[in-house]
Each structure stands twice: as C-alpha cells, then as structure tokens.
A and B are shown apart, each in its own frame.
Chain A
Amino acid sequence: MWIKFLLSGLIIAFCILLGYLAANKYRARKKFFAQMEAFNGRYLNELSYSRKPLGEFLSAYTYTGDFAKTVESFAKTRQPSFKYSFLTKEEKNECADYFSMLGKGDSFSQSDYFAAKKTYLAEKKAVSEKECKARGSLYLKLGLLAGLAFVILIV
C-alpha cells in the first residue's frame, strides 16, 4: 500500500517538475528583458553624467544568465550573441540593432536613441513578466493534473 503512495507521489512530483521545466522559456525571457531594461537605464544615466568608456561601463555592473552571456560576448568581440530559443527572430534583430548602436555617436544622439528604446524595453519586460506568471502557473497546474491522471490510470 505504502509503495503505491510513494509511487503516486513520485509520479505527481515528476509531472509537476516537467510542468516547471516547460515554463523555463518564459522565465528566461522575463529575466532577459528585465536585465536589458536595467542595462538601458544604467546606460542612459552614464550618458548623462560621467560618460565612462564603454568597456568600463560594461564591466561595472554584474548581470546574470543569458543577458550576461550577451554582454560578455559583446565586450570581448563587439558581436553580441543571441542564440536563445526564447527570443523571436524579430526580437533577435531588435537586440542586434540595439547593441550595434552602443557607442556609435555623441552623447546627445545616443541619449536620443536609447531613450526611445526605453518604452520598447519596458513593454517587453511587462509582457514577459505577465506571460511568465500566467504560463508558469498554467504549466504547473497541467503538470499536477497530468500526474494525477497517470496515478489514476496506472496506479
């Protein structure tokens, strides 16, 4: 009897885990756009005050996850990397365009361009947060349901 309970528990836990992993893409998107929005804000501050050289600015702040890899790749090679499945083709082009503009102009024109990107990035951050919350919760529930279904059918 107790083996059945244990097995049921394991199956349900496993299905919930699968549900959690299925929502990884949305968590990654949320983190990426949150960090990119923060990066943009910091860059605008930099342009309006001390105007450190780009290399110094890039190494002044710590980022995590995929955005950190992108910044690292840009700092080393001036070619940012966007090989992430959670970004659409259009988003990859936008990001590539964003990074290609970094440093390419005086402070006035840079401030203009990156201030215009504020709205776009704020929108992406808000949408990705909403998506992550909705999908995350949905996939966990689906995982739980699937686990229960397996338990009923098999166990």
Chain B
Amino acid sequence: MLEFLPPRIATAVRYINLNLLYELRLRADKPLYANYGGKFVWLGAQGVAASASEAMLISRGEVEDTLFAASGFCVYSVENQIRRGFVTAACGERIGICGTVVYEHGAVHSVRDVTSLCIRIPHEIRGCADSIYRKCLSDEIRSLLILAPPGEGKTTILRDLTRLVSEKTAMNILVVDERGELSAGELGRTADVVRFADKRTAFCEGIRAMRPELIVTDELLREDYAAVRRALVSGIVVFASAHLKRYKDVPEKIFARYVILNGLGEVGEILDKDGSHVD
C-alpha cells in the first residue's frame, strides 16, 4: 500500500496508523494534509503536526514523482485514466489529479503541470455491510442504491456487501469497477470484475458475455441510469452507490431499496421504492 510515495512522504506516513488513514492530499508548495480517523490533519516529518506551519511542505517534483510512480512508471498504461482525472494505483488507491487539462480535437488529451493529488486509501472492513444485508437482503436479494456524500464509505460497504452476497448465496456477480476501487479487496468466490470500462459498455457486454445474476457498481451518474434500467428489466439485480444525500435527488426511482448513510459508514435511513421507511 502507498508504495509509490516519495521517500520523504513515505517516512512521514510510517509514523501514523495506516488503518486510520483515509486520504492524503499532496499539493505543490503547500503543507501535507490528511484525513486521519475521519478528521483532516496536517502531517509533518514525524506524523501529525499541530499546525500547518509545522507540516511538511510538498514540492512540485514530489507531486509529479508520486503520480509517475503510481502509474507504474508508464503513462501509456494509464492514459485513459489520466484523461478522466484519476489514476488507480496497484493496491486500489485512487489518486485524483488536478492540473492543466490539454485538449485535442475538442476532447481531453492529457493533464500536464499536475499540482495537486488526492490519494484515497481503500480499507477492507469486514462486517460493515452486515446491517444492510440483514435489513434489506436477508429475505430476498433486491436492487439497492447507497446514498452519501464523498468519503463516507459507500465503496467500502459495497465491497463488503458483494462479498456477503457471494458467500451466502453464491450468485454470479459482475462487478463493474469503473475506477478500479471496488476490486481493491475481497469480493467473494463468485465475482467477476470488469475494470476501467465505462458503465454502458461494461453493463451491455457484461450481461451478454458473463450472464450475471447481480451487478455491483459504484458512483452512478444520471447518464448511467439507462444501463441500470436495462439490467433490471433483464431480471438482473443491481447494487450501486451515488454521491447524493437525499432520496428525492435520485433521478430515477428504479431501485427497490435506498440506503442513506449518516456519517462515515453509519447506516441512517433505509427507504423503499416509494420513499417510505423500511423497518
């Protein structure tokens, strides 16, 4: 995990508990910032710093070196990811990229002069989806959508839910892992993973080629609902997540259950298709 960090930052990170490190923010010529245990803190050469002035200053070279190392020292193998503003490292760390976007023929060609990186560290938390399974799926495996703002554990829960369903039901599961994060952990013995494909392609080709009974995917956008609808109409169950806080913001109410998280990994409300509370 985090093998791509430059030596200075890697040393600083060794002073903290990696199990509590959720996010690292590298910004050129700015102090090192991290989400540690759910709170944002400054990081110095020997762990958590009391203030920004005591934190480690990240150089532009370190930002670029981190990105190059995270890409496996080869830009060509991650060029499609870079065009979409991220790179997924070897252990599933998702690195968001901020820099100058280069266009060619009206489409994004590359990103240069990278100045900020947001490194999200995946954690496998076995059992975090137990309550959702018990409340929503124990009698019947039905489609569900997990709603929460970014960074509240949707991907971690989806991953654990996939593993649970695989273990308890042995259903054939297709994991549509557009950003390479979902598959950074145990998904169960009956899961097939399609990585880095857009949802439309993955759903369409995956349904034809892999004959799944359940599809699991992350971060639904408005334009992805058509693919989900086609899967549901084909009789395939879908688990998904979305960066939304409220049921009423969901563009199409096509799922059987809506799980709204209330803080980091905390299950808040569970609603049915009509928005009524489920006990």
Contacts and interface: CB of A to CB of B under 8 A. Distances in A.
A130 interface: no
Q: Pick the most buried of A47, A78, A102, A106: most chain B CB atoms within 10 A of its CB.
A: A106
B196 to A, nearest CB: 11
A105 interface: yes
A54 interface: yes
A47 B76 contact: yes
B99 interface: no
B79 interface: yes
A102 B68 CA distance: 12
Contacts of A54: 72-74, 77
A107 B109 CA distance: 12
Interface string A56-84: 10000000000000000000001000000
Interface in A100-123: 102-107, 110
A59 B12 CA distance: 31
B75 A104 contact: yes
Interface residues of A, number: 15
B110 A53 contact: no
B75 A53 contact: no
A105 B76 contact: yes
13 contacts: A51-B76, A53-B72, A54-B72, A54-B74, A54-B77, A55-B72, A55-B74, A56-B72, A78-B73, A103-B73, A106-B76, A106-B79, A107-B76
Nearest to B76: A107
* Binding site secondary structure of chain B: mixed
Contacts of B74: 53-55, 102-103
A110 B74 CA distance: 10
Contacts of B109: 106
Contact of B76 (A55, A56, A78, A103): A103
A42 interface: no
A96 to B, nearest CB: 16
Q: Pick the most buried of B72, B77, B79, B110: most chain A CB atoms within 10 A of its CB.
A: B77
Interface in B151-179: none
A102 B76 CA distance: 10
A133 interface: no
A51 B73 contact: no
Contacts of B71: 53
B143 to A, nearest CB: 34
A98 B73 CA distance: 15
Contact of B79 (A55, A78, A102, A107): A107
Nearest to A111: B76
Nearest to B83: A106
Contact of B73 (A55, A106, A107, A110): A55
A55 B69 CA distance: 11
Contacts of A47: 76
Given A103-B77, A106-B79, 12 more contacts: A51-B76, A53-B72, A53-B73, A54-B72, A55-B74, A102-B74, A103-B72, A103-B75, A106-B75, A106-B76, A106-B109, A110-B76
Contacts of B76: 47, 51, 103, 105-107, 110
B107 to A, nearest CB: 13
B75 A52 contact: no
A65 B236 CA distance: 55
A107 B110 CA distance: 12
Contacts of B79: 106-107
A14 B79 CA distance: 58
A53 to B, nearest CB: 4
A144 B76 CA distance: 54
Shortest 6 CB-CB contacts between residues of A and residues of B: A103-B74, A53-B72, A54-B74, A107-B76, A106-B79, A53-B77
B83 to A, nearest CB: 9
Contact of B77 (A52, A78, A104): A52
A104 B65 CA distance: 12
Q: Pick the most buried of B72, B75, B76, B110: most chain A CB atoms within 10 A of its CB.
A: B76
